[in-house]
Amino acid sequence: MSVRIDPKLLHAEARLVRAPVQRACEDRTFGLPWGLHAAYFGLFLAYLGVMAIGFPHPEMVLPMAVFVVFTIAFYVVPMLWAVMKPDHGSKAISIGELMARGISVETGHSSGGAAVAQVLVLPVLILFWGLAVVTIAALV
């Protein structure tokens, strides 16, 4: 159940932070290094590779090809969007800069390591899930 909190009490006890600067239209790099984007989609491609190797049936060639094409498209389209208008001046930050400065998100400031963990946790879990499924199928 939610409980209504008096705004005066909330302001007295909460640590208020300034809202992050909105860069939605000016910065098309999503504020993350290109290497982090490459790792993100590389892990998805690794999952597809594990599934293709783990289930090498001739009828799976077409579905796996479609999965790979769509996964590559999901990476290439944002990359093209980021470089579509080169005069916008935004440039992806380096991984060292991310680790040193961190990144501002809607909920406040996040350290570089926390940002990397938040971005890569889902593809890593999906890859491990694929490895587990292929291992179980091989043992059964």
pLDDT tens digits, 83-112: 676 666 667 788 888 899 888 877 788 898
Any residues with CB less than 8 A from the CB of 5 and at least 6 apart, and which?
Answer: none
pLDDT value for 89? 64
Task: Tell me the domain boundaries of the chain.
Answer: 19-139
pLDDT of residue 5: 76
Give dist(CA 127, CA 41) in Å, integer.
Answer: 11
Report pTM. Answer: 0.72
- In the predicted model, residues of the chain with pLDDT beneath 70 are 1, 14-17, 20-29, 82-83, 85-90
pLDDT at 76: 87
- Residue 60's pLDDT is 92
What value does the mean pLDDT of the chain take? 84
Q: Can you give the pLDDT at residue 12? A: 74
Say what the pLDDT of residue 110 is.
87
What residues pair up with 104 in beta bridges, in sequence order?
Answer: 109
CA trace torsion 24, 22, 118, 37 (10° rounding): 30
pLDDT for res 46: 97
Q: Which residues pair with 103 in a beta bridge?
A: 110
Write down the pLDDT at residue 35. Answer: 86
Which residues partner with 109 through β-bridges? 104
What is the pLDDT at residue 102?
87
pLDDT at 92: 75
